[in-house]
Structure 1
Amino acid sequence: MAADRVEAAERGATAIADRVVAKIAAQAAREALDVVPQGASAPRATVTVHHGMARVRVSVELDYPSDIGGQCGSVRHHVTQRVRALAGMDVPEVAVLVERLHSVHSRKGAHGRIR
């Protein structure tokens, strides 16, 4: 009878909800950005998990002017690493959506539009 027992580590399965992976991805995006612009929303993420792979979409707000492409690349790289490390999932795709740019110049005292 003892020979028929399956070790605890070999029984069952682990499932991680999409929303949990999304929280990991959003936090990773915050870590990847040096600064979240004043008045900006924190990065948000949506995730679809299928067969142990996570497809991630991250929305961010960035300062302008800045290296937008470089920041998006940093977010993609860091999100991929953190999701792989913390959730054990491959991440074949991280889409970064820049929802808003916050002008450094408009925060320095300009109120309203200048014509």
Structure 2
Amino acid sequence: MRRGRLRIADRVPARIAWLATREALGLGRDEVPRVSVQVVDGSARVRVGLVLEFGSDLVEQAERVRAAVVDRVGALTGIPAREVVVVVERLKVGQPDV
């Protein structure tokens, strides 16, 4: 017999995705990704907004973030992240080598 039900608020997988993104890219304290999550029909739709370094490998970084989010959200919540959209919102110019 089944009783009750478990409801995980959208902010839980959002926080997990946020942490996974920071870890995947090795972001510092000042670098904060923007993450939003919607759980629809038992799966998560995740959007991650990033500010990345100009001249860096954007595709590789986006893939690293996507893989980390899929892995961590699914493993820690049991909710599969079937759709992860990584958006590079802005490029920043690093300090020149002197």
TM-score normalised by length of structure 1: 0.76
1:13-52 paired onto structure 2 within 5 Å: 13-36=5-28, 41-52=31-42
Greater RCO between the two (CA within 8 Å, min separation 6)? 2
SS at 1:79's partner residue?
helix
Gaps of 5+ in 2: none
Larger of the two Rg values belongs to structure: 1
Between 17-26 and 74-83, report the one with greater CA deviation: 17-26
Gaps of 5+ in 1: 1-5, 110-115
Structure 1 stretches of 4+ moved >6 Å: none
What is the rounded CA distance, in whole Å, between the counterparts of 1:97 and 1:70 in structure 2?
A: 13
- Number of matched pairs: 97
What is the percent sequence identity of the aligned residues?
45
Matched, 1:68 2:58: yes
What is the rounded CA distance, in whole Å, between the counterparts of 2:32 and 2:27 in structure 1?
A: 10
TM-score normalised by length of structure 2: 0.88
What is the rounded CA distance, in whole Å, between the counterparts of 2:8 and 2:93 in structure 1?
A: 38
Alignment RMSD (CA, Å): 1.9
What is the rounded CA distance, in whole Å, between the counterparts of 1:12 and 1:92 in structure 2?
A: 26
Matched, 1:81 2:83: no
What is the rounded CA distance, in whole Å, between the counterparts of 1:87 and 1:51 in structure 2?
A: 14
- Measured after TM superposition, the shift of residue 51 of structure 1 is 2.2
